[in-house]
A and B are shown apart, each in its own frame.
Chain A
Amino acid sequence: MTSMKYWQAAADALREEMRRDPSIIVLGEDVAGGAGREAEGIIDAWGGPFGITRGLIKEFGPTRVRDTPISEAGFTGIAAGLAADGYRPWIDIMFTELLPLAWEQLTNKIARSHYLSAGQLRMPVTVKTFGDCYSPACHYPGLICVAPSDPYSAKGLMTAAIRSDDPVVVFDNLRLLRQQGEVPEDAYALPLGQARVLSPGSALTLLGIGASTSLCLAAAADLAAAGLSAEVVDLLTLSPWDVAGVTESVRRTGRLLVVDYDHPECGLSSTICARITESAWDALRAPPMFLTPPPVPAMGMDANPAMAALYLPDAGAVVAAAAKLCG
């Protein structure tokens, strides 16, 4: 085990997989940085918006680490073509606000091709992005969506995403970028489609999604001090999510609170509540609830970061919602 930051764990996973598998090709805007200035000795000038891909061009060269023009739809479709011919592209769509630009290629080509072609086309594409707006991608069949919640899951899920023969969208989170944690040095992949129980409890299940998992852990500590035993479950794979695992937890506790930073309407958390209402009906002691920001179109890389404090759920809000559920 080594202590490292979230972003270093994600970077390690990519680097280790690229060493193992020469078919991995990294594509995106400024994934190396300074492209076209090699003659002046400029190389590796950026490494992606937060340095996750820094150093890769020096180790693997410009053929495998390729800066693209600002063309999200174009390079996402290029990834589909590379994948169809046996490569494993890893593409950087910096922020979820940019995903809509690539949406047509991501859905109609990357998500649908394997199924529609009856297995003739494979799409082992990893799409890496930062942000909370993951529900649209979860809505689409054929895409696997994951959201790590700490350095350990950042490395394990990134490795799993890259090794998967299916397309995987990795939703990283800027709030977690500098979080420190223990990470095994050797490569490992977390199982896709499996949630994990982070701390057992008996009175309710707090379900975290990516960055909101830390919030659940903090709230669980506060609730414990108040005499309420909360079980914290970390969803990890957002689609297709672990219905059986979450059901099992809720059947133990009888109550569910999903804590989610995405928009509320037609979102992942409302889907989870609906499914769990069916699957754990006879064990429920209260209606499943979800806690999200209000439906304001201000999320993401906001012009004014202070806005976030106004709309994001905090540990206090989680504690209040949990108390209401258990009351």
Chain B
Amino acid sequence: MHTDQQIMLDLYRGLCRCREFESALIKYATKDGKPVGHPYLGQEAVAVGVCTALRPDDRVVGTHRAHGHAVAKGCDLERLALELYGSAEGTCRGRAGEMYMAQTDVGYFGGTQIVGGNVPMATGLALAAQLGHLDRVAVSFVGDGAVNQGVVDEALNMAAIWSLPLILVVENNGYAQTTSVHYATAGRIADRWAPYGITSLSVDGQRATEVYDAAQSARARAVSGQGPTVIEALTYRYEGHYYGDRHRRYRSQEEVDTWLARDPLVLHHRAALEAGLTEAELADVRTSASSDSQAAFERARSGRAAARPDLLEGVFIEPQLSRPGEDA
């Protein structure tokens, strides 16, 4: 239990922003015929617990289920909403969409559609921090499915032999698309890279404070040259793999209900009250998160659309090659 009220409040604010942003996306996108993609509902305590323990210039890469990673790392809600709506005013001029959207000035280097595909890049960001002797870490979020991708193993091996300031956060929500982690994964995830000498632990991913503590220790180890950490966070996604996925075909109602009863916002709300925060303070935070998110999507609705003349811009930086396809 955390007694630091400021941290408890920060964690609650992060949880509310992730939850309200996702809820607003679902509400507006379904109304406007825009894609929702892969909702982060239910897993908020993982992204928020980790990112609250980070410094602004720490590097984070996300997964395909990346809305929560972007929000938790501090990306601008309005520009994220615009990006999700395909607007030229989005964080990436509408080019990246939900899985690749990035905002590097807050340390968020984007997600990827490839399960596990961002772990090498995070390892490179960690190597950059080490080469520059910086007080900086790189964090890669992945799902449980990613632990079976070979490239993740390659990256972790190099992070271990070079003692890189890397934190791998495995969001074990029990399913890789429809495939149960119990079927697909040999052994315990938290045990997988322990033999590499990598500090590995498993935490309750529904409790933001537990995730925060684990990330804070991992960060301290990383910047003091003690190398990478793997944090497995046990969590659950409330929606299917994507919005509209009929997930009851592979998950029982009983299982869903068990996890809904351990909602990360409810658990943290209770913990925050116990730490001395008031109902009114917490209600304020929730209300702001909700109105900010609604406002972001109202703004996204009137965003300037990406235009044809911009299409070939920026394929290359080299000026003589900058507009390929217009050369003949």
Q: CB within 8 Å of B: which residues of A? A: 25, 63, 68-69, 71, 73-87, 89, 104-105, 108-109, 112-122, 141-142, 144, 164-166, 191-194, 240, 243-244, 247, 275, 278-279
B66 → A minimal CB distance (Å): 13
Contacts of B92 in A (CB 8 A): 116-118, 120
Quick one: which of A74, A104, A118, A275 contacts B328, CB cutoff 8 A? A275
Contacts of A144 in B (CB 8 A): 316, 318, 321
A83 to B122, CA, bound (A): 11
CB-nearest residue of chain B relative to A112? B100
A155 → B minimal CB distance (Å): 19
Contacts of A105 in B (CB 8 A): 117, 120-121, 151
Contacts of A193 in B (CB 8 A): 318, 320-321
User: Given contacts A78-B124, A82-B124, A117-B96, are A240 and B327 in contact (CB under 8 A)?
Assistant: yes
User: Given contacts A84-B125, A116-B95, A118-B314, are A74 and B109 in contact (CB under 8 A)?
Assistant: no
Q: Does B110 count as interface, using CB distance less than 8 angstroms? A: yes
User: Given contacts A73-B150, A121-B104, A121-B109, are A108 and B120 in contact (CB under 8 A)?
Assistant: no
A277 → B minimal CB distance (Å): 11
A293 to B244, CA, bound (A): 49
Contact A142 B315 (CB under 8 A): yes
Contact B318 A120 (CB under 8 A): no
- Give a binary string over B110-127; 1 marks a CB under 8 Å from any A CB, 0 the rest: 101110011111111111
Contacts of B59 in A (CB 8 A): 85
Contact B128 A85 (CB under 8 A): yes
Q: Does B29 count as interface, using CB distance less than 8 angstroms? A: no
Contact A81 B121 (CB under 8 A): yes
User: Given contacts A81-B127, A191-B320, are A117 and B117 in contact (CB under 8 A)?
Assistant: no
Contacts of A89 in B (CB 8 A): 124
Interface centre among A81, A164, A194 (most CB of B within 10 A): A81
Contacts of B109 in A (CB 8 A): 84, 121
Contacts of B125 in A (CB 8 A): 81-82, 84-85
B67 → A minimal CB distance (Å): 17
A22 → B minimal CB distance (Å): 10
B70 → A minimal CB distance (Å): 13
A314 → B minimal CB distance (Å): 32
Contact A109 B318 (CB under 8 A): no
A192 to B319, CA, bound (A): 10
Contacts of B314 in A (CB 8 A): 114-115, 118-119
B322 → A minimal CB distance (Å): 10
Interface size class of B (residues with CB under 8 A): 35 or more
Quick one: which of A73, A243, A275 contacts B120, CB cutoff 8 A? A73
A165 to B319, CA, bound (A): 10
Q: Does B276 count as interface, using CB distance less than 8 angstroms? A: no
Contact B120 A87 (CB under 8 A): no
Interface centre among B104, B112, B318, B328 (most CB of A within 10 A): B318
Contact B120 A240 (CB under 8 A): no
Interface residues of B in 150-174 (CB under 8 A from A): 150-151, 154-155, 157-158, 161
Contact B315 A141 (CB under 8 A): yes
A/B interface sample: 13 pairs, CB < 8 A: A69-B157, A71-B158, A73-B150, A77-B117, A77-B118, A77-B124, A77-B155, A81-B121, A104-B114, A115-B95, A117-B104, A120-B92, A141-B324
Interface centre among A112, A118, A121, A275 (most CB of B within 10 A): A118
A87 to B321, CA, bound (A): 22
Q: CB within 8 Å of A: which residues of B? A: 59, 91-93, 95-96, 100, 102-105, 109-110, 112-114, 117-129, 131-132, 138, 150-151, 154-155, 157-158, 161, 314-318, 320-321, 324, 327-328
Contact B317 A166 (CB under 8 A): yes
A165 → B minimal CB distance (Å): 4
Contacts of B124 in A (CB 8 A): 77-85, 89
Quick one: which of A73, A82, A84, A116 contacts B96, CB cutoff 8 A? A116
Contact B328 A87 (CB under 8 A): no
Contacts of A118 in B (CB 8 A): 91-93, 95-96, 314
Contact A71 B154 (CB under 8 A): yes
Quick one: which of B117, B129, B320 contacts A109, CB cutoff 8 A? B117
CB-nearest residue of chain B relative to A36? B161
Contacts of A75 in B (CB 8 A): 120, 154, 158
User: Given contacts A82-B127, A166-B317, are A73 and B151 in contact (CB under 8 A)?
Assistant: yes
A155 to B116, CA, bound (A): 37
User: Given contacts A118-B314, A121-B109, are A104 and B151 in contact (CB under 8 A)?
Assistant: yes
CB-nearest residue of chain B relative to A72? B154
User: Given contacts A71-B154, A193-B320, A240-B324, are A77 and B110 in contact (CB under 8 A)?
Assistant: no
Contact A78 B318 (CB under 8 A): no
Contact A78 B324 (CB under 8 A): no
Contact B150 A244 (CB under 8 A): no
User: Given contacts A118-B93, A118-B95, A240-B324, are A69 and B161 in contact (CB under 8 A)?
Assistant: yes
Contacts of A164 in B (CB 8 A): 317-318
A111 → B minimal CB distance (Å): 9
Contact B321 A76 (CB under 8 A): no
Quick one: which of A69, A77, A82, A192 contacts B318, CB cutoff 8 A? A192
Contacts of A279 in B (CB 8 A): 328
A254 to B96, CA, bound (A): 44
Contacts of B151 in A (CB 8 A): 73-74, 77, 104-105
